[in-house]
Copies of this chain bind each other. A is one copy, B any other.
Amino acid sequence: VSARLGRDPLGPEFKLIDRLADRLPAPEVLPDAVRAGLRLGIGDDAAVWRLPDGNLGLLTIDTVVEGVHAYPHERPEDVGARALTAAVSDVAAMGGTPFFAVVALQAPRRGSDETLERLYDGLAEEARALGVAVVGGDVVDTPGPLAFSIAVYGTCPDGRLWPRGGARAGDVLAVTGRLGGSRAGLELIGDPDYPPRSDWEQRLAERHLRPRARVAAARALQARGGVHGAQDISDGLSSELWHLALASEVGLRIEAAAVPLHPDLERYLEARAAAGGERLDPVGYALDSGEEYELLLALEATHPALAEPDLGGEGPLTVIGAVTAGPPEVILVEAGGPRRLLPGGWSHRGADGGKA
């Protein structure tokens, strides 16, 4: 969902994106009023411009294609809710407060209206929970699969933006929530025996199917300043760390033992190994878990939020490492010593890969 128009050496789809972005007009040809307001264009999670009162406007867009980002047997409510969370998460991860969303729906010619109505029910439920107004949209029919894009507008106080390139040497790295559950849930949903029978399997599936954008945590952090850069964890923490390191031109040093794991993750990985699957390291597994929609933050080491368990009901933060002077690098410190962490995790589901 988050293959951004960004200059990123993280995979072939990023190279296509760069080639497309290179074709767009240089800012110099734009009218003065447009150019003067622009703060951040292509390359971050949202476009950013200056509003007349000095606040910043943010705009982002995200797409869901059935069969790629959603399974045909998923509840349509979950597909709609998750898509809104993914788009809103991009605004929250910039330090923004989301306000409005517009939805462009491609309705399959042979699809049922009930599916679309249920998709909107989930979207509406999530909009209510996130405090976002769905204010417009567009429905077209398609000979292809069900697909839809959601654009989200939000605002952010000037000087308080959390750009991808904002991490500074001396910052600590922290994350919201506990990781790995989304990837495990996705594997369970893809299992021929789905739906799972046990409570913990069901929890993992729900963790994947209905994540919640960390709007409340972002708001609690935003009010205080001291956050310099952020990413939402959509592609997997290992990839997000590289995005942050490259854009900020800093080194990142992660303590493996500090990465917070989903409470059902070790049980899941044991069951997976007992059933004949590969035995996987929980931390490595969690580092490559996508669609978590938790926040990765580079913030001041003395930030008061680090000691606050509540954080708008979405705390606590967990410190997982530190930002060091460049060049761009991501080091994982394990019991056996430090090693370079490679970007992995979520590319997308579907015939050509799923987890990359």
A100 touches B24 (CB 8 A): no
A contacts with B: majority SS: mixed
Q: Which residues of B contact A132 (CB under 8 A)?
A: 30, 34
Complex Cα–Cα for A33 and B133 (A):
11
B68 touches A143 (CB 8 A): yes
Complex Cα–Cα for A224 and B35 (A):
25
A61 touches B104 (CB 8 A): yes
Complex Cα–Cα for A102 and B109 (A):
27
Q: Which residues of B contact A59 (CB under 8 A)?
A: 59, 100, 102, 135-136, 151, 153
Q: Which of A41-49, A176-184, A185-193, A305-313 contacts B (4 or more CB under 8 A)?
A: A41-49
A30 touches B131 (CB 8 A): yes
Q: Which residues of B contact A133 (CB under 8 A)?
A: 25, 27, 30, 34-35, 38, 41
A117 lies within 8 A of chain B by Cβ: yes
Smallest Cβ-Cβ distance to A128: which chain B residue: B25
B141 touches A350 (CB 8 A): yes
Q: Which residues of B contact A42 (CB under 8 A)?
A: 134-137
Q: Which residues of B contact A124 (CB under 8 A)?
A: 23-25
A262 lies within 8 A of chain B by Cβ: no
A19 lies within 8 A of chain B by Cβ: yes
A303 lies within 8 A of chain B by Cβ: no
This protein's copies in its complex: 2
If A13-B139, A25-B128, A140-B3 touch, whether A61 touches B20 (CB-CB below 8 Å) is no
A281 lies within 8 A of chain B by Cβ: no
Most chain B beta-carbon contacts within 10 A, residue among A17, A25, A117: A25
Q: Mark A21-58, 1 if CB is under 8 A from B, else 0.
A: 00111010111011101101110101101011101010
If A20-B116, A38-B133 touch, whether A61 touches B147 (CB-CB below 8 Å) is no
Complex Cα–Cα for A67 and B61 (A):
23
A69 lies within 8 A of chain B by Cβ: yes
A139 touches B17 (CB 8 A): yes
Q: Which of A111-146 contact B (CB under 8 A)?
A: 113, 116-117, 120-121, 123-124, 127-128, 131-145
If A23-B117, A30-B131, A352-B141 touch, whether A104 touches B149 (CB-CB below 8 Å) is yes
Most chain B beta-carbon contacts within 10 A, residue among A2, A47, A123: A47
Complex Cα–Cα for A61 and B151 (A):
8
Q: How far is the CB of A222 from chain B (nearest CB, A)?
A: 14
Q: How far is the CB of A204 from chain B (nearest CB, A)?
A: 25
A4 lies within 8 A of chain B by Cβ: yes
Q: Which residues of B contact A37 (CB under 8 A)?
A: 99
A107 lies within 8 A of chain B by Cβ: yes
A298 lies within 8 A of chain B by Cβ: no
Which residues of A does B touch, CB under 8 Å? 1-5, 13, 16-17, 19-20, 23-25, 27, 29-31, 33-35, 37-38, 40-42, 44, 46-47, 49, 51-53, 55, 57, 59-63, 65, 67-69, 97, 99-100, 102-107, 109, 113, 116-117, 120-121, 123-124, 127-128, 131-145, 147, 149, 151, 153, 348, 350-352
18 example contacts (A-B, Cβ-Cβ < 8 A) are as follows A1-B138, A5-B137, A13-B139, A16-B139, A20-B117, A20-B120, A20-B139, A25-B124, A30-B133, A31-B131, A40-B135, A47-B135, A59-B102, A62-B104, A63-B140, A102-B151, A104-B149, A153-B153
